[in-house]
Amino acid sequence: MPILHAMKIHKSFGNKHNKQEVLKGLDLAIEKGEFVSIMGPSGSGKTTLLNVLSSIDSVSQGSIQINGQETTGMKEKQLAEFRKQHLGFIFQDYNLLDTLTVKENIMLPLSITNLSRKEAEHKFQSVASELGILELQDKYPNEISGGQKQRTSAARAFVHEPDIIFADEPTGALDSKSASDMLNKLSVLNQSRQASIVMVTHDSVAASYSSRVVFIKDGQIYSQIYRGQETRQAFFQSIMKTQGVLGGVQVEY
């Protein structure tokens, strides 16, 4: 059974006199442990898709199940609880609290659990070590680099071991070296923790770190490609080829 199953997803904005249909009956399944990138031209609906899958926004029609639970019918209070327990988020602009240390930011999702202090500390040590930021634990966000901030954001997303992690252009604000470091870490965490990751990106280099790329065009799935046993470089070339056919996608090196 997929960890995420979206069926016949429609999303419209505006009213009946001026309605814009952004998602048009889209179906998508994400398996446990998959690292999936969503790509497409500007205006294709990829960010809207991420927002409805992650319950940040609601669908106009359709069904979304995460780990067997239907999220589309949940009330806001239920959704808030569901997000805290089952979902992790990595945003382009980090969303760290400046008044908290790196460690305090990472441990925020654990503050609402029933874990003992010892268990919470173990989870923090584990994820901070894997992301290479353990020595930064007492620093504040304004004392660390952009790449370190994003790894802190990633640690916060992984620390409570959610069912699925949603990443919205997580390398968009980073230089190429910091972006590469971040993507390598995400790839390692995906494999070592069997963490399911759904990432929206415009960058084919970033997408080449994933195991599957879903291309969106005009609110529907245009095509999908799987990495399989390909090297990352070969997968990058496959992504570029599909983008060339799709057209209109800005590629950054």
Query: In the prediction, which pLDDT does 245 show?
Result: 86
Whether residue 107 contacts residue 120, with contact meaning beta carbons closer than 8 Å, is answered with yes
Q: pLDDT tens-digit profile of 143-180?
A: 999 999 999 999 999 999 999 999 999 999 999 999 99
Mean pLDDT value of segment 101-119: 94
> Does residue 250 have a pLDDT over 70?
no
Domain 2-98+165-247: state its class: alpha beta
Q: pLDDT tens-digit profile of 208-230?
A: 999 999 999 999 999 999 999 99
Per DSSP, 112 falls in state G
> What does the domain layout of the chain look like in residue ranges?
2-98+165-247
Q: pLDDT tens-digit profile of 87-104?
A: 999 999 999 999 999 999
Query: In the prediction, which pLDDT does 253 show?
Result: 32
**Residue 115 or 35, more confident:** 35
